[in-house]
Structure 1
Amino acid sequence: MEDNIYFKILELFGNKGRHFTTEDLARELGTSKRTIYTHFSSKNEMIDKTIDFVFGEIMKYDNSILESNEYSFQEKLEMFFHNLPDTYNISAIIRHSDDLQKYYPESWRKLNVYLNSLWDGVIQLIESEKDKTKKVNTVILRLILTETLRKLLDYEFVAKNQISFDSGSKAMYDIVLYGIFKRNDSQKKE
């Protein structure tokens, strides 16, 4: 049930921002407010633990990719890109970032620390496999990935540009891994 609590909090925060209530959460979960308070002492703690849950799941998966010997370097990079936060609906929190900054500043700082470190595994993998890539400035790569992801999680940006998170993240993935030049058939097989 615990994972379900976090997904419901994400859903409620995405729909109502800071205005969701413990009563809303209890109703969604089919339980009582008292039960909710056995897990959390406040709404602030609900949001904080939800952010930890989302990024904890991402980091667990990323670490399993890094530690695995089953996959090639390219397969590992692809797996990192497929494990982006929208899978866990973090965009629901980003959508209400103004409220988060104003009313839950510690949670906002925590979210930013996680977003800034999200690409650590990719950078670590690239640096450990330098012989398999051309020389890459990983500081710039991290900047490109982080800022692109932030824009793809920005509801207004995505709506204004009529792109989806999935299509935007696939475009980012294609550009980062394969560049902007057309590939011939022999390059596509590599």
Structure 2
Amino acid sequence: MDEKIYFKVLKLFGNKGTRFTTDDLARELGTSKRTIYNYFASKDEIIEKTIGFVFRDMHQADERILKDDSITLPEKLKLVLENIPDAYNLGAIIRHKDDLQRFYPNLWDEVNKHLNEAWDDLLELIEVGIHEQELAEVNTEVLRLMLNEALRKLLDYEYLAQKSFSFESGMKAMYDIILYGILKR
């Protein structure tokens, strides 16, 4: 039932931001508030665990990729780059960042922490590739900055609407640039 709860919270969060109620969640789940409070102590905890759910899945998939010795370094890079949380799930949280910052600043800090750590596995893989001389030497801190800022911008629905492209196409363009560069092949 946990995943079902998290997906319903994300749906409510996407529609109402932090203003959804436990009554709303109970209605979505077809259960009672009391049942919800058997799983969570508070609305804060509901939001906090939902945020954790979104990022935990991504990190676990990255770990599986990194530990698989049958996958080559270029394949691992591609798979890790493609392994970004679904735009809707992550976007539902980011879209209401103003509410999170104002009403739940500790949870917004948690989102930022996760966003800043989202690239750790990829950068570790790149550093291994650099060390083993399979990849060109790059400044991974600058790369982290580029990835962080690009991800945040690609999660901004107003920006995407203005530029007329999707989160998915923006992410694909970003990882194509990272993997293949800008020089003609």
Moved over 3 A (4+): none
The CA deviation at 1:182 is 2.1
Aligned length: 183
**How far apart, CA to CA, are the structure 1 residues paired with 2:128 and 2:82?**
20
* Cα RMSD (Å): 1.1
| Residue equivalent to 2:46 | 46
**How far apart, CA to CA, are the structure 2 residues paired with 1:30 and 1:74?**
46
Amino acid of the structure 2 residue aligned with 1:95: R
The CA deviation at 1:82 is 1.4
Amino acid of the structure 2 residue aligned with 1:99: D
**How far apart, CA to CA, are the structure 1 residues paired with 2:84 and 2:15?**
21
Instruction: Give the alignment partner of residue 170 of structure 2, picking from 157, 168, 171.
Output: 168
| Residue equivalent to 2:61 | 61
The CA deviation at 1:54 is 1.1
The CA deviation at 1:88 is 6.4
| Residue equivalent to 1:5 | 5
TM-score, scaled relative to structure 1: 0.93
User: What are the superposed Cα offsets for residues 24-58 of structure 1, whole Å, 9 maximum, x if unpaired?
Assistant: 11111111111111111221111101111111111
Percent identity over the alignment is: 57
Q: Which runs of 5+ in 1 are unaligned?
A: 184-190
| Residue equivalent to 2:161 | 159
> Structure 1 residues 154, 87: CA separation in 2 closer, same or farther (over 3 Å shift)?
closer
| Residue equivalent to 1:120 | 120
Mapping of residues 10-159 of structure 1, within 5 Å: 10-86=10-86, 89-130=89-130, 131-159=133-161
Contact residue 95 and residue 155 of structure 1 kept, 8 A: yes
**How far apart, CA to CA, are the structure 1 residues paired with 2:89 and 2:9?**
10
Amino acid of the structure 2 residue aligned with 1:91: G
- Between 1:49-58 and 1:79-88, the stretch displaced more is 79-88
**How far apart, CA to CA, are the structure 2 residues paired with 1:73 and 1:38?**
44
TM-score, scaled relative to structure 2: 0.96
